[in-house]
Amino acid sequence: MLTKNDLNQIRSVVKEEVKNEVADQVKMGLEPIAKDLSDVKKDLSDVKKDLSNVKKDLSNVKKDLKDVKKRVKKIEKTVDVVIDHFDREIVGTQKRVGKIEDHLSL
């Protein structure tokens, strides 16, 4: 017959073995997760580098766009001046043609 002390010793041995086995199983289960996490961290690092490059490129594009906007505004002003000039010329020509037609009774 087993004594209470024997049962306690068996319990502690079984408890220790179960604890060790569970720890081993947890480690084995965590290894693939740790590998996947490492891969994800590497991918995230690559994405951060790419994003940094995109930000630099976007900064350059913004600078170029500002220059383009300035040029477009200059062109718009020039076009407005040219249109105003030709509008005045056309109106003047129409008046002269009207006077000539009146004079010739056309």
Report domain extents, the chain. 1-106
Answer yes or no: pTM beyond 0.85: no
pLDDT given at position 28:
87
Structure tokens at 49: 């580098």
| 105 φ/ψ sector (left φ>0, alpha ψ -120 to 50, else beta) | left
Report long-range pairs for 23-32 (Cβ below 8 Å, ≥24 apart).
Answer: none
Reference 29, options 21, 17, 18; nearest CA is 21
Q: Along the 106 residues of the chain, how does pLDDT read in single tens digits?
A: 889 998 889 999 999 999 988 988 888 888 888 899 999 999 999 999 999 999 999 999 999 999 999 999 999 999 999 999 999 999 999 999 999 999 998 7
